[in-house]
């Protein structure tokens, strides 16, 4: 997940440098008034999003699989804890003393 984030930031940084170069060389418009920096960042974001979507497809799928695995483990742990609590409640309702491990 961290690797995917770094790759995504790298693509954005590359686009930012390219857009900045194009704006300051006069190829791309400068924006309105004092909005030049915001214009450069916004344009770099718009350009880097589809590039990241296509180029990082494999990395995104691997990161997604890691997230799904973590969620599944968390759900399994919660269910196990819930079952242990239910078993303890059932034992105490039946009057069976609980033995500490």
pLDDT digits (tens, 9 = 90+) for 4-31: 899 999 999 999 999 999 888 888 777 7
User: Is 98 within a domain?
Assistant: no
- Domain with 59, as residue range(s), is 2-92
Determine the length of the chain. Answer: 101
User: Is 50 within a domain?
Assistant: yes
Distance CA 51, CA 15 (A): 9
Distance CA 66, CA 62 (A): 6
This prediction has a pTM of 0.65
Q: Domains in the chain: how many in total?
A: 1
**Planar angle of CA 64, 76, 82, nearest 5 degrees:** 145
Q: pLDDT digits over 64-77, tens only?
A: 899 999 999 999 99
């Amino acid at each position: 997940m961290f690797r995917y984030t770094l790759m995504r930031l790298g693509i954005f940084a590359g686009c930012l440098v390219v857009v900045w170069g194009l704006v300051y060389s006069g190829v791309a418009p400068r924006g309105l008034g004092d909005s030049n920096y915001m214009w450069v960042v916004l344009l770099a974001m718009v350009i880097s999003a589809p590039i990241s979507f296509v180029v990082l497809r494999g990395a995104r799928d691997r990161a997604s699989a890691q997230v799904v695995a973590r969620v599944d483990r968390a759900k399994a742990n919660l269910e196990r804890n819930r079952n242990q609590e239910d078993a303890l409640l059932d034992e105490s309702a039946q009057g069976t003393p609980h033995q500490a491990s």
